[in-house]
Amino acid sequence: MGFTCDNLIEIRDLHFAYGKRRVISGLELDIPRGKVVAILGTSGCGKSTLLQLIGGALRPAKGTVKVCGQDVHALDHDGLYRLRRQIGMMFQKGGLFSDLTVFDNVAFPMREHTGLPEAVISDLVKMKLNAVGLRGAHHLFPTELSGGMARRVALARAIALDPDLLIYDEPFAGLDPITLNVICHLIRTLSDALGGTSVVVTYDVPEALKLADYLYLMGEGKILAHGPTDEMIRSDDPFTRQFLHAQPDGPVPFHFPARPLAEELDLAPATRPPIR
């Protein structure tokens, strides 16, 4: 059974840390059905950790993550398993099974989660691979694929069960401009065709602006700004403007906190060498 509520994801006062290093600090967001939503942030800001919290792979120190009204971290093993059947995931590095062919990688979730006969699975796999332009590569192994081809196979596997929620973790990382544009177009086209909800986690601003209906900007372990894409592009908020327009000066500092350089170099102002 698919999801039926307005907001597919609702997160409230979410906190998480790796040991003493806080990664998520009071984060809150809502993701409505039927939209492509991008979560943007610099590398290391906690975007991938947030995805693991949504999927139940990590448990928060505080707060709630609800997927269509179900508290993810209150579910038992069977309940979490059922919930994950409605979620398609495209991992940051593809996550293909190296010992399985392209065909068997895409067929895996169908064989794992359904009782469909092999003849039906075969037809469905061919349709998914055709959607990403790789039906002719069904017999190849992941080691025989280019990076862009592997990413497209991962996309075909993510949509294998026609999930209500599709999550993409850094789908554009490491791609050449042509392949990047192909992946971006596929994500938008497949999202519209399936009528589902897509969450794209990325630091690639230009692609997110072309792709997403709604943007969330992450920083300091929380959501610092959010809104419809067109409004965010025109925003006067200093952080939003700096991030979306790649400005070097703004609320996000270039330097990691440290003592003044003169102190580090043991140079008092009076003893500094003259500038020539």
pLDDT band at 2 (very low <50, low <70, confident <90, very high): very low
pLDDT in tens, 58-74: 999 999 999 878 899 99
* DSSP tag of 274: P
Asked if residue 196 lies in contact with residue 36, where contact means CB atoms within 8 angstroms, the answer is no
* DSSP tag of 78: H
Q: Kindly state the percentage of the chain with pLDDT values over 70.
A: 89
* CA atoms of 32 and 22, how far apart (whole Å): 27
pLDDT band at 178 (very low <50, low <70, confident <90, very high): confident
Of 201, 245, 208, which Cα lies nearest the Cα of 229? 208
* CA atoms of 140 and 144, how far apart (whole Å): 6
Q: Kindly state the percentage of the chain with pLDDT values over 90.
A: 37
pLDDT band at 28 (very low <50, low <70, confident <90, very high): very high
Q: Is the pLDDT of residue 262 over 90?
A: no
- CB-based burial label for 232 (10 Å; 0-12, 13-18, 19+): buried
Comparing 216 with 191, which gets the higher pLDDT? 216
pLDDT, the chain, mean: 85
